[in-house]
Structure 1
Amino acid sequence: MELIVLFGVFLVLMLVGMPIAFALGISSVSFLLMADISLTIVPQRMFAGINSFVLLCIPGFVLAGNLMNAGNITEQIIRFSNALVGHIRGGLGLANVAGSMIFGGVSGTAVADTASIGSVMIPGMARSGYDKPFSAAVTAASSTVGPIIPPSLPMIICGSLASVSVGRMFIAGAVPGLLLGLAMMVTTYILAVKRGYPKEKRATLGQILSEGRSAFWALLMTFIILYGIIGGFFTATEASIVASVYALIVGMFIYKGLTWRQLPAIFADTALTTAALMLLVGMANLFGWILTTQQIPAIIAETILGISDNPIVVILIINLLLLFVGMFMETIAALIILFPTLLGVATGIGMDPIHFAVMMVLNLMVGLSTPPVGVCLFVASSIGNLPMLKVARAIVPFLVCNLIVLLLVAYIPAISLWLPNLIMGQ
C-alpha cells in the first residue's frame, strides 16, 4: 500500500506540472507517513545525497557557463560556426549544430544551450528562409550534445555515483558527443537539400581566421579544463573554479561583454540554479533510499535478468527503460534513482562502468528533446513562439538520428572507452 502511495502521488504531481524536486519530496514524505517512519530521515538522506566533494563542481561550472553567456560568447561561437559551414546548403542549420557542439564545451547543460543558441538562431534562421518548426527542432535536438561533450554536469553526477574519475568520464564523452553532432549535421544537410533551404555566401580564409580568433578563447576553456584534469594539475572540482576565473577574465577583458554591474545578478542566478540542482539531488537521494529499502532495485535487476541474460538483449531492455523514463523525468533525478541499480545489472553482463555511464547519459539526453515533456522542446517552442506539437513533429528525423547513435554507443564500447584508455591508460 505504501508503495502505491509513493508512486501514485509522484505520478499525479508530475502530471499536474509539479517541479520534479517537489514531486519526489512530497511523494517520499507521503510514503514515510504511511509507513510510520520518522521524518528525521528526510534531512539525513538529503544531506547524504549532497555531501560529496565531487558535487562542488556543479556551482563552479554553472558560474563559468553564466559568465561566458554574459560575455558575448554565444554570438562569437555562432559567427565562427557560420564562417565554417554557412556556405553549405542549409548552412545556418549546420552552424546551429556546430555552435551547440562548441557551446557544449562551455556550459555543459542542454537547457542553457537551447536558450542561448536558440534565442539567436531560431529568429535568424526564420528570417533567412527556414521554416520555424525546423529551426526550433534543430536547436532543441543539437542542444543534447552539450552534456555529452565535456564539461558535463550529468557526467559529474555519474562519476560521484560510480566512484570513478570525473576526468575519465569527461574524456569518455568526447567521441560520442562528436559522433552525435556529426550525425545531426548529416541529418540537417539531407533535410536542407530535400526542402531547398538556402545557403550563405562562402567565407574567405581571412574571415574564417578572424572568426576563429574570436572563438579561440571559448575553445581554449575546454582545453584548459581537460588538460588540467588529465595532467594532474587540478581535480575536477578545482577545474570548475579555474574555469570560472578564466570565464570572468575572458568575458570582461577580452570579449568585453561582461561588466562589474552584471556580476551580482550572475552570482544570484548561479546560486539559485545550484540550490535548485542540490535540492533535486537531495530529494532524489531520499526517493532512491526508499526504493532501496523496499528492494525495488533488486526487483528491477531480477526482472531484467529474468527476461534474458544475453548482453545484447539486456542492453536493449535497459535502453528502452531509460528512453521511457527520459521522456518524463529530469536527467539528474533519473540518474540518482536508476544509475546505481542499472549499473549493477550492466556490470553483471560485463559492461564497463564508464561505458554504461556514457550510454545512460546519452540516452537521457535524447529524452530532453522527446515528447511529451522534453524540456528542450518546451524552451525551443517558447523561443520560436510555436505550438509544441509542430516542433515535436519537426524533431522526429533528429530523434531517429540520435537513436542510431545511441545504439552504436551502446553496442560498441570502444566509442566511449578508446580515448580515455589511450590518454589515461586502462
Structure 2
Amino acid sequence: MGGNVLTAVQAAEILFGVFFTLLVLRVPVAVALGLACLPILLIEPRLSPMMLAQETFNAYNSFILLAVPFFLLTANLMNIGGITDRLMNFSRSLVGHFPGGLAQINVVLSFFFAGISGSSTADAASQSKIFIEAQRKEGYDDSFSVAITAVSAVLAVIIPPSILMIVWGGVLTVSIGALFLAGVIPGLLIGLVQMGTVHAYAKARGYPTYPRATLAQVVTGFIVSIPALTTPLIIVGGKIFGWFTATESACIAVLYAGFLSFFIYREMDWKGLLNALGDTGRLAGITLFCVGTASCFGWLLAFYQIPEVLLSGVKSWGMGSIGTGFFVALVFLVVGCFLDAIPAIIIVGAILQPLTLGVGIDPVHFAMIGIISLAFGLVTPPYGLCLMIACSVAGIRMSAALKDTCLMLLPMLTVLGLIIVFPSIVMVLPNMISPESLR
C-alpha cells in the first residue's frame, strides 16, 4: 500500500520474525501473535498500538463465534451428566469384540463425541481420563494408548459440528451448513482407518478382546443412548435445513445436554453444573484470545498486502487444482505443527484462499483440506495439543508416544490425499442435500 513507511517484505519480516522468536522463547501462541503486531503499530505513523485492542474487539464482536463456548459447554455437560458413559456402553456393544476391543471403543466413542462437542481438546481431555488407565490395566502399551487416544480425538474437528468449521465459515465467508455436510464422509473414512490401525496393532501385539455382545445388549445400549445420539441430528440438521444458525444450534445443544443430564439421566447436580461452567470459561477464554490476536495479525497482513507478495512466486509455478491442493495441505501440515488451528485459519487460510480460487478449487473443498490438515497438527510436535494432553494424563513424555502416533497418522494421510485428488468425497453431500448453500 502506497505511503507506508514499511514495505510488504519488511512488514512480513518483522511480523513473522518476532512471532517465531517468541515461540522459540516459549511465549504462548496467543500472546506471541499480539506482541508481534506491536512493532509494526509503533513504526507505522498511520497506525497506533490502540489498533491491537480495536481489531481484537472487532474479532470478538461476532455472533458466529458465540457458538464456540456453547459447544465447549455442551461437551462438559455430557461428561458430567453421564451422557458419555451411555455412549461408551453402546460403543462397547458394537465393537468390543473386535481385536483390541477397548481401543476400538476409544475410536467409536470419539466418533460419537465428535458429533456433539466440536472440540478435539475437550475430547482428548475426557477420553484420556476414561481410557488410558483402563488400557494400561488390560496390558496395552502406554505409547499405543496415548497415541490412539490423541489421534482419535482429532475426529472432533472433522466431523460436524466442528468449532474449526464455524471459525472458518465466519472468517472466510463459507457456508457453515455446507462445511458440516462436507465433513461427514471424510470423518467416517478417517474413523474407519483408525479402527483398521487398531486392528493391525491388536493382532501384532496380542491386545485383548471382549466377548461379543448379544443382540439384546446392542439394542438396549442403543435405546439408552438414543437421547444422546439425537444431539448431533438436532445440531447439524437444524443448521443444514435452516431452522436455526450455528450459534443458535450451539445454544440448543447446551439446553438439550443440560436437560438430559438433569432430568433424564439425573447424574448432574448444581455443583457439577458450576464445574462445567468454570471449565468452559477457562477453555473458551484461551481459544477466543487466540482468535482476537490472530485477527489483528491477519489485519496487518491484509494492510500491507503481504499475501499477494507471498503468493506471487507460487502462482508462477503453474500448478493445477490437484497440485495446489497438495501444496495447501503441506502448508497447513507444517503450520499446524507450530500454531493453533484457529489462528492458522485466520492467517494462513486468508493468505491461501486467493490461490485456490485462481485454480478453481471450491471454497468448501479448500476448507476441508485445510481443516483436516490442521487436525494433524493437534498430535504432531512441537505444538500437538491433544498429544500433550494425553501424555500428561498418562504421565509419559511426548517423545515416548511419537513413533506410534506417526504410524497411526500414515493411513490418515492417505485419506487426506484421496480427498485432494477426488473432491467429490467432500462435495457429494453438500451438492446433494443443500446445493444452494454453496452459492
- Give the TM-score normalised by the residue count of structure 2: 0.93
User: What amino acid does structure 2 have at the position aligned with 1:195?
Assistant: R
Among residues 11, 18, 23, which one is paired with 2:32 in the alignment? 23
Partner of 2:68: 58
Among residues 345, 363, 366, which one is paired with 1:356 in the alignment? 366
Say whether the 8 Å CA contact 2:160–2:180 is kept in structure 1: yes
Please report how far the alpha carbon of residue 212 of structure 1 lies from its aligned counterpart in structure 2 after TM superposition.
Answer: 1.8
Looking at structure 2, the residues matched to 269 and 385 of structure 1 have their Cα atoms a distance apart, in angstroms, of: 22
Among residues 239, 252, 262, which one is paired with 1:229 in the alignment? 239
Question: Percent identity of the aligned residues?
Answer: 39
Please report how far the alpha carbon of residue 179 of structure 1 lies from its aligned counterpart in structure 2 after TM superposition.
Answer: 0.8
> Bigger shift: 247-256 or 329-338?
247-256
Is it true that 1:70 corresponds to 2:90 in the alignment?
A: no
Please report how far the alpha carbon of residue 26 of structure 1 lies from its aligned counterpart in structure 2 after TM superposition.
Answer: 0.9
Q: How do 1:257-268 residues align onto structure 2 when only pairs under 5 Å count?
A: 257-268=267-278
Is it true that 1:402 corresponds to 2:402 in the alignment?
A: no
Looking at structure 1, the residues matched to 43 and 85 of structure 2 have their Cα atoms a distance apart, in angstroms, of: 53
Is it true that 1:11 corresponds to 2:11 in the alignment?
A: no
Please report how far the alpha carbon of residue 274 of structure 1 lies from its aligned counterpart in structure 2 after TM superposition.
Answer: 2.5
After superposition, the Cα gap between the structure-2 partners of 1:214 and 1:17, relative to the gap in structure 1 and judged at 3 Å, is farther
Please report how far the alpha carbon of residue 255 of structure 1 lies from its aligned counterpart in structure 2 after TM superposition.
Answer: 2.0
- 1:260-303 deviation line (CA, Å, top 9, x unaligned): 22223322332333332222111001001112222221122222
Say whether the 8 Å CA contact 2:71–2:119 is kept in structure 1: no
Is it true that 1:298 corresponds to 2:308 in the alignment?
A: yes
Looking at structure 2, the residues matched to 255 and 18 of structure 1 have their Cα atoms a distance apart, in angstroms, of: 43
User: What amino acid does structure 2 have at the position aligned with 1:160?
Assistant: G
Looking at structure 2, the residues matched to 55 and 247 of structure 1 have their Cα atoms a distance apart, in angstroms, of: 20
Looking at structure 1, the residues matched to 48 and 379 of structure 2 have their Cα atoms a distance apart, in angstroms, of: 39
Is it true that 1:311 corresponds to 2:354 in the alignment?
A: no
After superposition, the Cα gap between the structure-2 partners of 1:251 and 1:233, relative to the gap in structure 1 and judged at 3 Å, is same
Please give the secondary structure, in 2, of the residue aligned with 1:283: helix
Structure 2: gaps (5+ residues): 1-9
Partner of 2:378: 368
Please give the secondary structure, in 1, of the residue aligned with 2:157: coil
Partner of 2:126: 116
Partner of 1:199: 209
Please give the secondary structure, in 2, of the residue aligned with 1:146: helix
User: What amino acid does structure 1 have at the position aligned with 2:15?
Assistant: L
Looking at structure 1, the residues matched to 324 and 178 of structure 2 have their Cα atoms a distance apart, in angstroms, of: 25
- 1:128-154 deviation line (CA, Å, top 9, x unaligned): 121111011001111111111111100
- 1:289-326 deviation line (CA, Å, top 9, x unaligned): 11222222112222221223322222222111111001
User: What amino acid does structure 2 have at the position aligned with 1:25?
Assistant: G
Is it true that 1:387 corresponds to 2:397 in the alignment?
A: yes
- 1:209-264 deviation line (CA, Å, top 9, x unaligned): 22222322221100111222223221211111111100100011222221122223
Please report how far the alpha carbon of residue 173 of structure 1 lies from its aligned counterpart in structure 2 after TM superposition.
Answer: 0.7
User: What amino acid does structure 1 have at the position aligned with 2:74?
Assistant: A
Q: How do 1:87-106 residues align onto structure 2 when only pairs under 5 Å count?
A: 87-106=97-116
Among residues 406, 416, 428, which one is paired with 1:418 in the alignment? 428
Say whether the 8 Å CA contact 1:67–1:251 is kept in structure 2: yes
Looking at structure 1, the residues matched to 402 and 225 of structure 2 have their Cα atoms a distance apart, in angstroms, of: 32
Looking at structure 2, the residues matched to 289 and 233 of structure 1 have their Cα atoms a distance apart, in angstroms, of: 33
Say whether the 8 Å CA contact 1:140–1:376 is kept in structure 2: yes
Looking at structure 2, the residues matched to 279 and 222 of structure 1 have their Cα atoms a distance apart, in angstroms, of: 27
Say whether the 8 Å CA contact 2:99–2:198 is kept in structure 1: no
Looking at structure 2, the residues matched to 328 and 257 of structure 1 have their Cα atoms a distance apart, in angstroms, of: 39
Please report how far the alpha carbon of residue 35 of structure 1 lies from its aligned counterpart in structure 2 after TM superposition.
Answer: 3.4
> Bigger shift: 134-143 or 38-47?
38-47
Number of aligned residue pairs: give it. 426
Please report how far the alpha carbon of residue 50 of structure 1 lies from its aligned counterpart in structure 2 after TM superposition.
Answer: 2.3
Is it true that 1:273 corresponds to 2:273 in the alignment?
A: no
Among residues 251, 257, 268, which one is paired with 1:241 in the alignment? 251
Partner of 2:188: 178
Please give the secondary structure, in 1, of the residue aligned with 2:212: coil
Tell me which stretches of 4 or more aligned residues in structure 1 moved more than 6 Å.
Answer: none
User: What amino acid does structure 2 have at the position aligned with 1:93?
Assistant: A
Please give the secondary structure, in 2, of the residue aligned with 1:395: helix
Is it true that 1:129 corresponds to 2:145 in the alignment?
A: no
Please report how far the alpha carbon of residue 400 of structure 1 lies from its aligned counterpart in structure 2 after TM superposition.
Answer: 0.5
Looking at structure 1, the residues matched to 398 and 230 of structure 2 have their Cα atoms a distance apart, in angstroms, of: 37
User: What amino acid does structure 2 have at the position aligned with 1:297?
Assistant: P
Looking at structure 2, the residues matched to 269 and 123 of structure 1 have their Cα atoms a distance apart, in angstroms, of: 22
Please give the secondary structure, in 2, of the residue aligned with 1:328: coil
Looking at structure 2, the residues matched to 412 and 154 of structure 1 have their Cα atoms a distance apart, in angstroms, of: 22
Please report how far the alpha carbon of residue 59 of structure 1 lies from its aligned counterpart in structure 2 after TM superposition.
Answer: 2.2
> Bigger shift: 54-63 or 147-156?
54-63
Among residues 21, 34, 39, which one is paired with 2:43 in the alignment? 34
Please give the secondary structure, in 1, of the residue aligned with 2:210: coil
Say whether the 8 Å CA contact 1:104–1:149 is kept in structure 2: yes
Please report how far the alpha carbon of residue 196 of structure 1 lies from its aligned counterpart in structure 2 after TM superposition.
Answer: 1.6
Is it true that 1:161 corresponds to 2:166 in the alignment?
A: no
- 1:326-358 deviation line (CA, Å, top 9, x unaligned): 111000010011112211111111111011101
Say whether the 8 Å CA contact 1:252–1:258 is kept in structure 2: yes
Looking at structure 2, the residues matched to 231 and 27 of structure 1 have their Cα atoms a distance apart, in angstroms, of: 42
Is it true that 1:326 corresponds to 2:336 in the alignment?
A: yes
Structure 1: gaps (5+ residues): none
Looking at structure 1, the residues matched to 159 and 313 of structure 2 have their Cα atoms a distance apart, in angstroms, of: 33
Q: CA RMSD in A?
A: 1.5
